[in-house]
Amino acid sequence: MTTEAVRLTHWQDQVADKRARQKASIPKEWLIPSVPEDTTNVIDIPQTCGLLTQRELEITGASEVTELLGRLASAEYSAVEVTTAFYKRAIIAHQVVNCLTEIYVEKALQWAAELDAYLKEHGKVKGPLHGLPVSLKDQIPIKELETTMGYAAWVGKYAEDDAVLVKLLLKAGAIPYVRTNLPQTIMWGETYNNVFGRTLNPYNRRFTPGGSSGGESALIAMHGSILGIGSDIGGSIRVPAHFCGLYGFKPSSHRLPTYGVVNSLDGQESVPTAFGPLSTSLSGITTLVRSILEQEPWSYCPNTVPKPWQQDDYSLKAHGEGKKLCFGIMWDEGSVKPHPPIQRALEMTKKALEAAGHSFIEWQSLRHAEYVAVARSSFLADGSEDYNSCLTTGEPIINSMDPSADPSDVPAFRIPRSPLSAYKVWQLNKERKELRKALLDRWQATVSQTGTGRPIDALICPVAPYAAVPHGRTRSSIYTIIWNTADYPSLIIPVTKVNPAIDTKPTRESFWGEEDEVVYNMYDPEAYEGLPVGIQLVGPTLQEEVVLGVGEVVNAALKAAQKQDAQD
Amino acid sequence: MTTEAVRLTHWQDQVADKRARQKASIPKEWLIPSVPEDTTNVIDIPQTCGLLTQRELEITGASEVTELLGRLASAEYSAVEVTTAFYKRAIIAHQVVNCLTEIYVEKALQWAAELDAYLKEHGKVKGPLHGLPVSLKDQIPIKELETTMGYAAWVGKYAEDDAVLVKLLLKAGAIPYVRTNLPQTIMWGETYNNVFGRTLNPYNRRFTPGGSSGGESALIAMHGSILGIGSDIGGSIRVPAHFCGLYGFKPSSHRLPTYGVVNSLDGQESVPTAFGPLSTSLSGITTLVRSILEQEPWSYCPNTVPKPWQQDDYSLKAHGEGKKLCFGIMWDEGSVKPHPPIQRALEMTKKALEAAGHSFIEWQSLRHAEYVAVARSSFLADGSEDYNSCLTTGEPIINSMDPSADPSDVPAFRIPRSPLSAYKVWQLNKERKELRKALLDRWQATVSQTGTGRPIDALICPVAPYAAVPHGRTRSSIYTIIWNTADYPSLIIPVTKVNPAIDTKPTRESFWGEEDEVVYNMYDPEAYEGLPVGIQLVGPTLQEEVVLGVGEVVNAALKAAQKQDAQD
C-alpha cells in the first residue's frame, strides 16, 4: 500500500467514523420515514411527518423569540419541553436537508432541566434568554464536544473550553443545543464539506440554503431552531438568511465576542469575520445582541469593543425618534443587475416605507469593485497555506460546490494566488482605509439631500442579485462583501417570495459585462418559484443599535403593507 | 560624476534647502544670543534670555490648560497675544534644543486674529479650545504646509488637506501653530533625523528628550507649548513625557482619529499607532481628549470607534466614585530592573495614594517578553521595505542615535529582518490575541484580591527603567511597548526628579540578564541629577475615561503629598 493510499483511507475512515457517530447520536424514535428525493419542497415536513405532538408544533411554530421567552419565563412552557420540541424538529429537518453537525440531546436536556429547577427554586429566570434553545454554527466550540469545522483532519478534536459566546449564552440562560453545517474552508456561499456532506434548501432541495452559515439557515427556516449564531466574512450570515427567508444580522467585526471560536484564515484581520444571529424574528436578532452586550463581553474577549447596548440609539433618539427617516436606496451595484424578484423586494420596501411617511434618496454604487478586490486579496493573501494546513490527512480540497462539476475545475474567484508579503498586505490595508474614508464622506455628504438635517438614516440594497440558486451556481458575494470591507453592520429582512406571475424574465439587449450576462441567464421564474427574497439594511460602523432600530421601522412598515394588501 | 554622487548631492541639497527655508521662517527679532554648548540645563533660558515680556512670561508660564482657556474665553488674554507669546517661546526653545520642524507665524496669527474677531462679534468662544495654541508632531499634515516627517525625499511635499485631527482642532478653536521634530523612520525612542538634526533635552542637553515625539516633549518642557499631539507605537508619547517631566497619554489605537496623518509602516495594523496628547497639565490631556470626542471624530475618520466621551466613566461611577480605589503595582517587568529614582517614584505614588485611602496589590509581569517579541516582529515584518521606499534619494538610514557611534553599527533591536509572509503575520496576530486574552483574564481575576468587589481600577508601573539617558543610549522600550501590543490606554504622570542624595546607586552582585547589567551600568546619580521621573498608569482597552479619571485621583494624591512634604 502506498503512503498516498494509506492517507486516503485514513481521511475516509475518519469521515466514516464521524458520520456513524453522528447517526448514533440521533434518538431512534426521532427518525422519520425517508422523504422521496423528488419532493423538493420539504418546508412542511415537520407538520406532516407525524412525529411532533400538537403542543410541540405549537411551541416550534413560534417565530417571535420574545413571545417564546415570555412563555418560558412564566413557566407556561418548561425549558425541557421547549428544548425537546426544538431538538425533535431539528432532527426532522436534518433528515431532509442535512443541516446538523454535533447532536447531543442528553447534555442539552440536562441544561434545560437545571433551568427549570432554577426557575422553580428562585421564582425568577436565570437570565434574559432563559430556556431558549440556540443553534450554533460549527465554528463555536462547546467544552468537551468535537469541533470539526467540516475538516476530516479535525475529527476527534474535542474542545477544552467553551467559546466566550457559549459562556455568555449559558449565563443568559440559553441552551446551545445543536451545531450546524458549513462549507469546507468556510469561504463559500454554499454549504458542503467532505465530513458532513451537503446542506439543502428546505424550500427547494435542489437549491442551496446559502453559506457559509447554511446549516443555520436551513435549520431555522424549518423551525428546527428559532435563533442561531453564524459568522460572516463576505455574506455568510446574510446570504443564507436571504436564501431561506430569515432575519440575519452581521454586526461590525468587533462588537460581539469572537474569542474561542475556530475559523479559517485565523489571524487575517484586514477584513475580519463577524459573528451574529439568524432568526425567524427581528425580536430574536435584537434580543440576542442586547443580551450579549448586557453581559459586558469585553470583560471576556479582548477583541470586543467596550460599548454597552445603546438604548437611545435603538430608540432612534438622534434620528427623529424614527418618525421621518430618509433612506438611501441602491438598486444595483452597477456590474450585475439583480433578478426581477430582488428588484421587486426593494420596490415593496420603498413603497411600504413611503406609505409610513419616510423618504428615499438614490445611492449610486461607490468603487464597488475595489471593495471586492481588497477583500479577495486579503482572503487569498496566504496562498492557501491556511487551508492546506487543515488538509493534512489527504482530504481533497473542494473546488466547486456544483455536484456535477469536474472536481478539478476551479471558479475564477476561488483560484489560489501566490502568497503576499506582509508589506503588500500593508498596502492593501491602506487601500481599504481610503475606501472606507470615501464611503464615510459620501454617507455624511447626504445631509445636503435628505431634508432631515441628518445624513441618510440607513441604506437599503439587495443582498444578492438572485434568490437562492441551484447547488453550485452561487457567484461571488459582491452585494454583501462590500459591507465586510467597510465593516458596516447589516441586517437582512425577509420581504417576499419569487412569484413567476409577476417576476417575469425581462428581455435584455445588452449586458453590463460577462458576469451580468451569466447571472441574467441563471434566472428562470418557474424554477425559482416560492423561494424567499430579503433586503439588506446597512448603517455605519459600530452603530448596531441604529441599524436594529431602523430595522424595526422597516419591518413594521412591511408588515403594515402586507396587512393592507391582504385587506384590499 | 557617477549616479551615486548625483544622488548624494541631491539629498544633501534637499536638506540644505529645507534648513535654509526653516531658518528664514524665524522672525529675526526672535533670535536670541547663542547659548554656550556647555550650558547643559537650558530650562530657564526663556525667562533669562530677555526676549519675552513680563506678560508673555506670565502667559506662557501657565501649566493648567483649563486656566489658560478660561482667560482666553473671558478675553483677559487675546488669542493673538497668547499665540504670539507661545510662538516666541517656542522659537527660543528651538534655538537651544532644536525641537521644531515647520514654522509659520503668519498663518497661526491669522487664525488667532479670526478667533479674536469671532469672540468679539459673537460674544462667545468658537469652541472648547478657543485660542489655545497646540503643537503637532511632524506627522500631522496641515493643508498647504510641507510634511517631511524627517525624510529628505519628502522635502517639498505639500499637504493637499488637513489631517482629521487638524480639522477638529480648528473647529474646536485651537491654533495648530507649529510642528515638531521626530526621528528618521519614527521607530526610535530618541529624536534625530538627517533633515532637521537632533533634538535635545532641555534639562540636560547631553541627554535625549526621548522619542519619537521628542520635539513635542522638549518644546513643552520649555513651555514653548502647553499642549501638543504626538503618536505612540511603542512608547513614543510616553517615553518623551517621562524624560521631560510631562503628562502624556497614549489612548487605545482607534479612540482618537488618525485619518490623514502620515506614518512609518503605514498599513501595519497588528500593533497600531495611537495619537494622543502631551501637556504640562493633566487638565490639558483631558481637555484635548474630550474636545475631540465631543466632535464625533468617527464622522470624519473611518478608523475611529464611535464611542462618545463617557462622563460617568470619567467620574469613576462604576469605581466607587474613586473614593477607595485598588491599584495593581508592577515594580519591574522581570528582565530589566529600573534605576533607583524610578523605584522611588513608584514608592512615592504608592505612599501618596495609601495616605489618601487607596490600596494596592502586587502585579507580576505576565509574559512580557512575548509582548515585546510580537510587537517587534510586527514592526519588522516588511523587511524594511517601507523605510527603503522613503530613502530613494540616497539619504542614508540612521542606524544609531549615538553621536559617537560607527554609523554602520546597528543595535540588536534594530537589525533588519527578512520579510514575513502574510500567513506568518496571521500567526503573529493569533499570538497577540492569546496574549491579550491572558492579560484580560489576569486583570479580571484580581477581583478576588482587591477587596473592592471590582478588579484593580488601574495598574501602576515604570515608564522606562531609567530617566532620560544620554543621546544614543536608549534601549528597547520594553516597559511601554507591552501596552501597545495589549492596546491598553496609558497615562504618564510626572512625579519627581533624580536626586543623587537619595537615589544612590546600589551594589548588585548578580543580574537578571545581559540587558539588566547594561542598564544597571548606565546609572550614574550625579550625571542624572535633576532629570524628571514619571510613572505609567494603565487601564483596559478603550476605557480612556477611566484611566483619566483615576489619573485625577493619582495626581491629586501626589500633589497633596508634595504639599504635606513642603509643610513638614
**Cell numbers 447532536: residue:** A103
B423·A303 Cβ contact <8 A:
no
* Amino acid (1-letter code) at residue B448: S
To test the contact with chain B by mutation, choose from A264, A269, A420 the residue with the greatest count of B C-beta atoms within 10 A, namely: A269
* Coil, helix or strand at residue B474: coil
Asked if A542 contacts A252 with a C-beta cutoff of 8 angstroms, the reply is yes
To test the contact with chain A by mutation, choose from B425, B430, B488 the residue with the greatest count of A C-beta atoms within 10 A, namely: B425
Q: Cell numbers at residue B414, please?
A: 534594530
Q: Worst-scoring range by mean pLDDT, B325-339, B406-420, B511-525? A: B406-420
Residue B1 predicted with pLDDT over 50: no
Is residue B61 very low, low, confident or very high in pLDDT (cuts 50, 70, 90)? very high
Tell whether B210 and B343 lie within a shared domain: no
Nearest-by-CA chain B residue for A454 = B299
Q: Under 8 Å CB-to-CB from A274, ≥6 apart: which residues?
A: A231, A232, A233, A237, A250, A251, A252, A253, A255, A256, A258, A484
Instruction: Give the pLDDT of residue A410.
Output: 84
Give the range of the structural domain holding residue B182, as residue numbers without chain letter: 19-262+272-302
Segments of B65-144 assigned E as strands: 100-103, 133-137
Query: How many helices and strands (H and E) does chain B possess?
Result: 19, 13
pLDDT tens digits, residue range A531-545? 999 999 999 999 999
Q: Under 8 Å CB-to-CB from A190, ≥6 apart: which residues?
A: A183, A208, A210, A211, A214, A401, A471, A472, A474
Q: Is A10 a member of any domain?
A: no
Which residues of chain B lie closer than 8 angstroms to A385, CB-CB? 421, 423
Tell whether B488 and B521 lie within a shared domain: yes
Q: Under 8 Å CB-to-CB from A52, ≥6 apart: which residues?
A: A46, A60, A85, A88, A89, A92
A212 is in an annotated binding site: yes
B421·A420 Cβ contact <8 A:
yes
Which residues of chain A lie closer than 8 angstroms to B540, CB-CB? 298, 306
B423·A428 Cβ contact <8 A:
no
Find the length of chain B.
568
Catalytically annotated residue among A236, A252, A253, A291: A236
Q: Is B522 a member of any domain?
A: yes
Q: How far apart are CA A381 and CA A209, in angstroms?
A: 28
* Coil, helix or strand at residue A289: helix
* Amino acid (1-letter code) at residue B411: P
Q: Cell numbers at residue A406, please?
A: 469536474
CA A123 to mean position of chain CA atoms: 35
DSSP class of residue B185? Answer: T
Q: Say how many C-beta atoms besides its own lie within 10 A of residue B515's C-beta.
A: 17
Asked if A222 contacts A97 with a C-beta cutoff of 8 angstroms, the reply is yes
A440·B270 Cβ contact <8 A:
no
Q: CB distance from A305 to chain B under 8 Å? A: yes
Give the gap in angstroms from C-alpha B426 to the nearest C-alpha of chain A. Answer: 4
Which residues of chain B lie closer than 8 angstroms to A305, CB-CB? 305, 307, 542
Which residues of chain B lie closer than 8 angstroms to A428, CB-CB? 267
Q: CB distance from A421 to chain B under 8 Å? A: yes
φ/ψ (deg, to 5) at B436: -65, -35
Q: How far apart are CA A312 and CA A320, in angstroms?
A: 11
Tell whether B242 and B325 lie within a shared domain: no
DSSP H/E element including A431: helix A422-445
Give the gap in angstroms from C-alpha B314 to the nearest C-alpha of chain A. Answer: 15
Q: Angle B79-97/B214-221 helices, nearest 10 degrees? A: 110
DSSP class of residue A29? Answer: G
Which residues of chain A lie closer than 8 angstroms to B383, CB-CB? 421, 423
Tell whether B288 and B336 lie within a shared domain: no
Q: Is B490 a member of any domain?
A: yes
* Coil, helix or strand at residue A490: strand
Q: CB distance from B429 to chain A under 8 Å? A: yes
Asked if B492 contacts B482 with a C-beta cutoff of 8 angstroms, the reply is no
**pTM check: above 0.90:** yes
Q: Cell numbers at residue A426, please?
A: 500593508
Q: Say how many C-beta atoms besides its own lie within 10 A of residue B176's C-beta.
A: 26
Q: Say how many C-beta atoms besides its own lie within 10 A of residue B247's C-beta.
A: 26
Tell whether B130 and B228 lie within a shared domain: yes
From first to last of its 568 residues, chain A has per-residue pLDDT tens of 455 555 556 899 999 999 999 999 999 999 999 999 999 999 999 999 999 999 999 999 999 999 999 999 999 999 999 999 999 999 999 999 999 999 999 999 999 999 999 999 999 999 999 999 999 999 999 999 999 999 999 999 999 999 999 999 999 999 999 999 999 999 999 999 999 999 999 999 999 999 999 999 999 999 999 999 999 999 999 999 999 999 999 999 999 999 999 999 999 999 999 999 999 999 999 999 999 999 999 999 999 999 999 999 999 999 999 999 999 999 999 999 999 999 999 999 999 999 999 999 999 988 999 999 999 999 999 999 999 999 988 999 999 999 998 888 888 777 889 999 999 999 999 999 999 999 999 999 999 999 999 999 999 999 999 999 999 999 989 999 999 999 999 999 999 999 999 999 999 999 999 999 999 999 999 999 999 999 999 999 999 999 999 999 999 999 999 999 888 8
Asked if A184 contacts A211 with a C-beta cutoff of 8 angstroms, the reply is no
Which residues of chain A lie closer than 8 angstroms to B424, CB-CB? 422
Which residues pair with residue A490 across a beta bridge? A250, A538
Instruction: Give the pLDDT of residue B198.
Output: 98
Nearest-by-CA chain B residue for A378 = B422
Nearest CB neighbour to A381, from listed B267, B306, B422: B422
Q: How far apart are CA A152 and CA A154, in angstroms?
A: 5
Q: Angle A368-379/A478-486 helices, nearest 10 degrees? A: 80
ipTM score: 0.96
Which residues of chain B lie closer than 8 angstroms to A542, CB-CB? 298, 305-307
Q: Is B181 a member of any domain?
A: yes
Tell whether B350 and B210 lie within a shared domain: no
* Coil, helix or strand at residue A374: helix
Q: CB distance from B367 to chain A under 8 Å? A: no
B361 is in an annotated binding site: no
B235 is in an annotated binding site: yes
To test the contact with chain B by mutation, choose from A270, A440, A546 the residue with the greatest count of B C-beta atoms within 10 A, namely: A440
Rg (CA), chain B: 23
Tell whether B281 and B319 lie within a shared domain: no
Q: Does the annotation count B137 as an active-site position?
A: yes
Which residues of chain A lie closer than 8 angstroms to B306, CB-CB? 307, 540-543
Closest CA to B434 of B479, B483, B486: B486
A305·B542 Cβ contact <8 A:
yes
Q: In CATH, what number is assigned to the domain containing residue A441?
A: 3.90.1300.10
Instruction: Give the pLDDT of residue A339.
Output: 98
Instruction: Give the pLDDT of residue A7.
Output: 55
φ/ψ (deg, to 5) at A204: -165, 110
Q: Peptide bond preceding A212: is omega within 30 degrees of 0, i.e. cis? A: yes
B542·A385 Cβ contact <8 A:
no
DSSP H/E element including A83: helix A79-97
Q: Does the annotation count B430 as an active-site position?
A: no
Most distant CA pair in chain B, distance: 76
Q: Is A8 a member of any domain?
A: no
Q: Is B150 a member of any domain?
A: yes
A386·B426 Cβ contact <8 A:
yes
B298·A270 Cβ contact <8 A:
no
Tell whether B318 and B219 lie within a shared domain: no
Closest CA to A310 of A553, A549, A550: A549
Q: Under 8 Å CB-to-CB from B348, ≥6 apart: which residues?
A: B495, B496, B558, B561
Q: Is A409 exposed, middle or buried (0-12, 13-18, 19+ CB in 10 A)?
A: exposed
Asked if A207 contacts A454 with a C-beta cutoff of 8 angstroms, the reply is no
Q: Is A190 a member of any domain?
A: yes
The per-residue b/e assignment along B388-421, b for 16 or more CB within 10 angstroms, e otherwise, is eebbebbbebbbbbbeeeeeeeeeebbeeeebbb
Q: CB distance from A232 to chain B under 8 Å? A: no
**Cell numbers 536626586: residue:** B499
Total number of domains constituting chain B: 2
Asked if B319 contacts B546 with a C-beta cutoff of 8 angstroms, the reply is yes
* Amino acid (1-letter code) at residue A259: Y
Q: Is A5 exposed, middle or buried (0-12, 13-18, 19+ CB in 10 A)?
A: exposed
Q: How far is CA A532 from CA A61, A202, A342, A432, B513, in A?
A: 18, 11, 10, 33, 67
Q: How far apart are CA A211 and CA A181, in angstroms?
A: 9
Segments of A343-400 assigned E as strands: 359-362
Task: Give the pairing of strands B197-198 and B458-461.
Answer: unpaired
SS3 content of chain B, % helix, strand, coil (to 5): 40, 10, 45
Tell whether B131 and B239 lie within a shared domain: yes
Nearest CB neighbour to A302, from listed B266, B385, B433: B433
Nearest-by-CA chain A residue for B255 = A305
Percent of chain B beyond pLDDT 90? Answer: 93
SS (H, E, C) B38-50: CCCCCCCHHHHCC
Tell whether B362 and B291 lie within a shared domain: no
Q: CB distance from B388 to chain A under 8 Å? A: no
Instruction: Give the pLDDT of residue B408.
Output: 82
Is residue B8 very low, low, confident or very high in pLDDT (cuts 50, 70, 90)? low
* Coil, helix or strand at residue A6: helix
* Coil, helix or strand at residue B168: helix
Q: CB distance from A433 to chain B under 8 Å? A: yes
Nearest-by-CA chain A residue for B253 = A305
Instruction: Give the pLDDT of residue A395.
Output: 94
Q: Cell numbers at residue B325, please?
A: 480605589
DSSP class of residue A330? Answer: -
Tell whether B280 and B222 lie within a shared domain: yes
A186 is in an annotated binding site: yes
Q: Does the annotation count A212 as an active-site position?
A: yes
pLDDT tens digits, residue range B412-448? 777 889 999 999 999 999 999 999 999 999 999 999 9
Q: Under 8 Å CB-to-CB from A14, ≥6 apart: which residues?
A: A152, A153, A155, A156, A195, A393
φ/ψ (deg, to 5) at A340: -50, -40
* Coil, helix or strand at residue B146: strand
CB contacts < 8 A, A to B, total 132
**Cell numbers 413571545: residue:** A67
Which residues pair with residue B326 across a beta bridge? B359
Tell whether B106 and B196 lie within a shared domain: yes
Averaged pLDDT for residues B460-465: 98
Asked if A488 contacts A435 with a C-beta cutoff of 8 angstroms, the reply is no
Asked if B155 contacts B103 with a C-beta cutoff of 8 angstroms, the reply is no
Which residues of chain A lie closer than 8 angstroms to B267, CB-CB? 425-430, 433
Q: Is B519 a member of any domain?
A: yes
SS (H, E, C) B504-566: CCCCCCCCCCHHHHHHHHHCCCCCCCCCEEEEEEECCCCCHHHHHHHHHHHHHHHHHHHHHHH
